[in-house]
Structure 1
Amino acid sequence: MTTTRGRLDKRSAILEAAGKVFTRQGYELAGVDAIAQLAGVAKPTVYNHFHDKETLFRTVMRDGAGRTAARIIAALDTIDDDADLAAELTRVAHLVIECQLSDEGWALQRLLYAEAGRFADLYDDVVSQGGVPVVNALAGRLARLANRGHLDIDDVMTAASQFMALVAGDLPALSRLGTRPVPADELDRAVVAGVSTFLRAFAVSREARAGEGQV
């Protein structure tokens, strides 16, 4: 048990160090020696865990996407079906964006863009670990709201993708790809506008809900 724990601790230390070195230097210039030194392990230990630098880089990107997705899904889990719909979606949208604005999240996105030419398939890997689980989770929450009569949605997967695009689509420009803080008023305007547009498309009016209750 102690040996297993030690191996897991070393793996985590290597991944954390690799993320910092890759972010600072890019894939080409990042050296396994520097990663090993920062992680506090011997260079052969890095190779024992990850075989080569490319495998390590891919793991850093996939794991980082998975962590961000987990934080966003946790935020989506807080949706209260009985709360005011506009206020609730606005609150949750802010939580989602807080996850996306994390230093790690933006660092990984910049790495992904920078290395897209070298790793043409990596984008799909990252989306499968990050974007897909988030859209699936949001689709489930939207389906629940639709079942409660709050939303009128035919395709919850498409609606979930549209919600994310509406509330977070301006983040790259507003934050200069995560290189500057987004002023609170700009962020709030973007979220409110996104939620408002989403609800104009999918919200069920109070009159319609009242009419259904009388049937």
Structure 2
Amino acid sequence: MTREDTPTSRPRGGLAGKRQAILDGALTVFARDGYTRASIDAISAGAGVSTRTIYNHFTDKAQLFLAVIHESATRAADIQVAIIERHLRKVTDVEADLIEFGRDWATPRPDSAAHFALVRQINAEAGHIPQEAIDAWQETGPRRVRRELAGHMRQMADRGLLRIDDADRAALHLLLLISAELPAHQASPSAEELTETVAAGVHTFLHGHLR
């Protein structure tokens, strides 16, 4: 009897359940160890399936990593796009609404922690990761989110609320400004620190873009 057939470790839901267990286990391992150091054996242990089962679903580690980053980036982007929509769909007070958006955006979320740990690993070893995986992450995650935010920047400019020549660049600048001063080592900044950092970033952004 192989390990994936034992009652205590068998993923539920048939093939789809096993595939999801593999993706979840792989995300944990890749986020912890990075792409280069992650092993199929470690992923097998984390997912509760055999290495044979992993290779039945994915050709190799590169294909598995591509699937993991695509799914993880999609989930994280869905959350971020929802934040953008929630705060910027109807802007009535540019400064106040951007600060509220920034506070929500910069608040750490446990459900996205593994993804952003994975992003840090990607940035640390980009030269050793298949380019296809990096492109998939960028297109599914950061580029999609920036396009969404840029659309709202254009809407605010069209309404005469902001002065913007390049909405895509303005979106990138805003995201950088509202998070640049948050300490990387601190997982959960205080409410006061978060508000102060976001407000300073928004004020700097509006200095260059407010009509």
TM-score, structure 2 as length reference: 0.82
SS at match of 2:163: coil
CA distance in 2, matches of 1:88, 1:74: 15
- Runs of 5+ in structure 2 lacking a partner? 1-12
SS at match of 1:20: helix
Q: Please report how far the alpha carbon of residue 98 of structure 1 lies from its aligned counterpart in structure 2 after TM superposition.
A: 2.5
Q: Which runs of 4+ in 1 moved over 6 A?
A: none
CA distance in 2, matches of 1:61, 1:92: 26
CA distance in 1, matches of 2:180, 2:57: 37
Residue pairs, 1:50-65, within 5 angstroms: 50-65=58-73
Residue pairs, 1:63-82, within 5 angstroms: 63-78=71-86, 79-82=88-91
TM-score, structure 1 as length reference: 0.80
CA distance in 1, matches of 2:16, 2:130: 30
Contact map agreement 2:31 2:117 (CA 8 A) in 1: yes
Q: Please report how far the alpha carbon of residue 80 of structure 1 lies from its aligned counterpart in structure 2 after TM superposition.
A: 4.4
Q: State yes or no: 1:15 paired with 2:26.
A: no
Distance 1:24 1:81, change over 3 A: closer
Distance 1:23 1:80, change over 3 A: closer
Residue in 2 that maps onto 1:113: 123
Q: Please report how far the alpha carbon of residue 99 of structure 1 lies from its aligned counterpart in structure 2 after TM superposition.
A: 5.7
- Runs of 5+ in structure 1 lacking a partner? 205-215
Structure having greater relative contact order (Cα 8 Å, sep ≥ 6): 2
Contact map agreement 1:167 1:191 (CA 8 A) in 2: yes
Residue in 2 that maps onto 1:209: none
Range that drifts further, 117-126 or 51-60: 117-126
Let me know the Cα RMSD of the aligned residues: 2.2
CA distance in 1, matches of 2:116, 2:170: 25
Question: C-alpha deviations, 1:159-208, integer Å up to 9, x for none?
Answer: 1111111112334xx122xx64323322222110111111121122xxxx
Aligned pair count reads 196
Question: C-alpha deviations, 1:98-143, integer Å up to 9, x for none?
Answer: 2678422331122112322312624443222211001100011111
Contact map agreement 1:65 1:105 (CA 8 A) in 2: yes
